[in-house]
């Protein structure tokens, strides 16, 4: 009997030591778990079925929203793709049209000028035919001057303008020096003494520099 008491006391001491090691949270957790288990046991089959139904409804609602969102994104993507295709097509047509216009412009850029010069060509042909019939050189000269002035006026109307170079200060923006000579006077030093070839402006832009002799 004494031995059995000692064994019981020893077991009790060990249980107390184990209990001291456990925190209050361990006991609360144990109690809570037991309470949850008891609550689950107290639920009826109808309650369990209702909770499962609610879970399925939430899942279906979420799935429906995701499908709706995917449909919206697909529609938006298709719309943007359609806009891109139409925009690219319009730009490609514009590019082709512009290239065609440039080619046509290069080939017909001088059309108006040539058309206006054709009457001058006609006058030259008539003058050449008349050379054999005219004995007075003054009449030939007058005819050539008339054609020259007609030709000059046509070019002037197109924006052609002579560069006035003689006896002006040498300017590299308009003049090209062929050579230098001693200036005939002090006033002509650094100025154009003579003009070898006329220069021209077309609508204010130099298309040919005046070839000049500069006084030094």
Domain ranges (residues) in the chain = 64-109, 112-156, 159-216
Contact call for residues 189 and 167 (beta carbons, < 8 A) = no
Q: Residue 205: phi, psi to the nearest 5?
A: -105, 135
Angle of CA points 176, 160, 127, to nearest 5°? 105
Contact call for residues 117 and 151 (beta carbons, < 8 A) = yes
Mean pLDDT of all residues in the chain?
76
Per-residue pLDDT tens for 73-82?
A: 888 888 888 8
State how beta strands 175-181 and 210-215 pair.
parallel
pTM of the model: 0.48
Residue 80 tokens, joined: 């943007």
Does the pLDDT of residue 177 top 70, yes or no?
yes
Q: Which H helix or E strand runs over 46? A: helix 45-108
Per-residue pLDDT tens for 103-145?
A: 777 766 677 777 777 788 788 878 877 777 777 777 777 888 8
CATH architecture of 159-216: Roll (2.30)
Contact call for residues 213 and 181 (beta carbons, < 8 A) = yes
């Amino acid at each position: 009997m004494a031995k059995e008491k000692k064994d019981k006391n020893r077991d009790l001491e060990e249980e107390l030591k184990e209990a001291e090691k456990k925190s209050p949270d361990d006991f609360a957790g144990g109690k809570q778990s037991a309470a949850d288990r008891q609550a689950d046991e107290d639920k009826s089959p109808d309650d369990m079925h209702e909770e499962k139904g609610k879970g399925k409804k939430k899942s279906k609602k979420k799935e429906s929203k995701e499908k709706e969102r995917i449909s919206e994104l697909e529609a938006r993507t298709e719309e943007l793709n359609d806009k891109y295709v139409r925009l690219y097509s319009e730009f490609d047509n514009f590019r082709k049209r512009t290239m065609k216009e440039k080619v046509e412009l290069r080939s017909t850029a001088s059309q108006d000028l040539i058309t206006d010069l054709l009457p001058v060509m006609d006058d030259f042909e008539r003058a050449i035919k008349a050379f054999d019939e005219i004995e007075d050189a003054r009449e030939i000269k007058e005819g050539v001057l008339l054609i020259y002035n007609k030709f000059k006026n046509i070019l002037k109307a197109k924006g052609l303008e002579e560069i006035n170079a003689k006896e002006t200060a040498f300017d590299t923006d308009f003049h090209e020096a062929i050579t230098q000579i001693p200036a005939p006077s002090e006033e002509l030093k650094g100025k154009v003494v003579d003009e070898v070839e006329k220069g021209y402006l077309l609508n204010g832009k130099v298309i040919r520099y005046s070839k000049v002799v500069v006084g030094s």
